[in-house]
Amino acid sequence: MQPADFTALPQRPLRERRSSKRAKLDDGEPAAVAASGGGDAAAAEGQAAAGADQQQAQGEPQMQDQQDVQQQLEKQEQQLAEQGEPAAGADATPQAAQLDLPAYRSAAVGDYKFEYLDHTADVQLHAWGETLREAFENVALCMFNYMTPLKGISLDAAQTRRYEAEGHDLQSLLFNFLDEVLFAFSTEFFVAKRLRITRFARADQPAAPGAAKGAGEGDEGGWRIEAEGEGERFDRARHACGTEVKAITYSAMQINEKPGDAEVFVIVDI
């Protein structure tokens, strides 16, 4: 019996991977992420691969600054090729040249700072902001928007709802926060069109991404969010039905924080 020959699948050189369906990226965003991706030693391999993806998946390379970044990334790609495959374990595979992976943040919904990413059975919420607080606010809105388009929701000041959540580390804080928001929707049918985190207490310093996991032990009240949501009750007669979110998951949850930029990935169960 022959083992399945993965390398026999058709290969295309990385460069030619383009997609005309791709929406234009925000100016400066890809450069910022790609550049910082190169500089951050800890997540260098993974980020560089993603950065390379971003650049490759972009449309016309007409802008000057992008050409510079292009060169930078070509260098990174070379480095990658020399180093070997990115962290993928024993199942080393060739570069996925034939997959058209969209650049992150290219599918932002309207003016909001969030987008939905492909997942086979569910959906991955991806939200960002200048601070982690903003990213958390946006991911909650991202979830609401999936259940019913936010533009159909009006702001009823009398129905402003307060949320509170606690956790033992950053990820559990995010999880509990979203769970609380979802719970409020499931029981009271409240949809927030705007959300403001009024208190964001964290027991760590917001410097190193990913280090929060172990740093939260000790102080009971060390991780806490208090937020205020403005919106109204969901009414089937007036609001469009989207897709119901059933639960928040820890699956592939990522919270990435850098000075001046933060992003959050959460998969929700549909």
Any bridge partners for residue 115, and if so which? 126
Any bridge partners for residue 197, and if so which? 227
Our CB check for another protein shows the closer of 119 and 196 to be: 119
Tokens of 255: 């919270």
Pairing of strands 223-233, 247-248: unpaired
**Min dist. Cβ of residue 72 to another protein (A):** 17
Our CB check for another protein shows the closer of 197 and 268 to be: 268
**Min dist. Cβ of residue 145 to another protein (A):** 11
Any bridge partners for residue 223, and if so which? 167
Q: Which of 102, 123, 105 is nearest to 113 (CA)?
A: 105
Our CB check for another protein shows the closer of 91 and 111 to be: 91
**Min dist. Cβ of residue 94 to another protein (A):** 9
How far does Cα 133 stand from its chain's mean position? 14
Asked if 227 and 246 count as a contact pair (C-beta separation under 8 A), the reply is no
Distance CA 42, CA 59 (A): 29
Our CB check for another protein shows the closer of 109 and 196 to be: 109
Our CB check for another protein shows the closer of 198 and 243 to be: 243
Q: Residue 185 — φ and ψ, nearest 5°?
A: -70, -45
For residue 101, count CB atoms less than 10 angstroms from its CB and return exposed for 0-12, middle for 13-18, buried for 19 or more.
Answer: middle
Our CB check for another protein shows the closer of 102 and 195 to be: 102
Helix (H, G, I), strand (E, B) or coil at 109: coil
**Min dist. Cβ of residue 243 to another protein (A):** 6
**Min dist. Cβ of residue 105 to another protein (A):** 10
Distance CA 215, CA 199 (A): 20
**Min dist. Cβ of residue 38 to another protein (A):** 13
